[in-house]
Amino acid sequence: MSEPSPSGSEKIAHEEETPCRSCKVGRLGFCRFFKDVLPDAPAPFYMGRQSFLRRRTLYTQSSSIKHIHVVREGWAFRYMLSQDGRRQILSYQLPGEIISPSFLFSSQPQFAGQSLTKLETCVFDVELIRRECQQDPSFLDHVIATCLSEKEDYEMRLFELGRCRAEERLARLILYLESKQESMDLKANDRIQFPLTQQDIADTLGLTQVHVSRVLREFRERELILSRQGFLEIKDANALRELATGSL
């Protein structure tokens, strides 16, 4: 359970400063904006790279934020933790995504962030990026749009948690993660990455791990999905969409 210091600059590797325009995740998520707007990106706010093992803390509720991370490889997630240990996962970040875009506007998080899998990030200096926002309106627009799209995700999730059954919640989560990977070009021939444990799913959907196990079994028995070791195959997308219906 030992954790690397979240902002220990001695841990940041400076070798290999691939410019965004030739980076393998350069066309994904937020990196795309970097690339489009700033010809020399990631200069000048780039601080190097950092890697994390599985399930390592990137920041906590009490962290003061000086750096932001953009995912290069692997998955990260944000979550809230109550004092008595209940966890609610808020969102997942895939390659190309900023782990917490709102840090660019306010530095006091009310949630924590972890690596879900082995993770590699590009690290940027918050202050320098803020300054860039002030000078470059179209860059600022991208940052705002990123924050707002997270807000829209939250709205869908509120509907899910408040008004959907377990089956529906799970179907929607699977389809959500599929479409996210599809839109980010991370989907390889019908198989999507699915590194969540059942406990992660439970803490995302407001269920218990045991119940998630049962609903997943049902999905498998009905041949809606097929899952093994970190990947998931959607066998019957129409039936899944049927289950997820009621939304808009």
Partner DNA sequence: CGAGTACTTGAGACGCCTCAAAAAGGGTGG
Partner DNA sequence: CCACCCTTTTTGAGGCGTCTCAAGTACTCG
Q: Which residues form the interface with DNA (CB under 7 A)?
A: 165-167, 197-199, 206-211, 213-214, 216-217, 228-229
Short-list 166, 179, 168, 170, CA closest to 243: 168
Q: What is the DSSP string of 136-195?
A: -HHHHHHHHHHHHHHHHHHHHHHHHHHH--HHHHHHHHHHHHHHHHHHTT--BTTEEE--
Using the structure block, give the residue that is written with the tokens 């506007």: 105
Report, in Å, the least distance between residue 42 CB and DNA: 31
Q: Are 54 and 197 in contact (CB under 8 A)?
A: no
Question: Which of 18, 208 has the CB closer to DNA?
Answer: 208
Site track 114-153 with a second copy (rule: CB under 8 A), x = hit: --------------------x--x------xx-xx-xxx-
- Residue of 5, 64, 83, 189 interacting with a second copy (CB under 8 A): 83
Cβ–Cβ < 8 Å for 112, 99: no
Which amino acid would we find at residue 211?
A: H
Verify binding: residue 165, a second copy, rule CB under 8 A.
Answer: no
For residues 60 and 208, which CB has a smaller minimum distance to DNA in the complex?
A: 208
**Which one, 98 or 216, has the nearer CB to DNA?**
216
Measured CA to CA, the distance from residue 227 to residue 42 in angstroms comes to: 37
Footprint of a second copy on this chain (CB under 8 A)? 61, 80-84, 86-88, 90, 102, 105-106, 110-111, 134, 137, 144-145, 147-148, 150-152, 154-159, 161-163, 203-206, 245-248
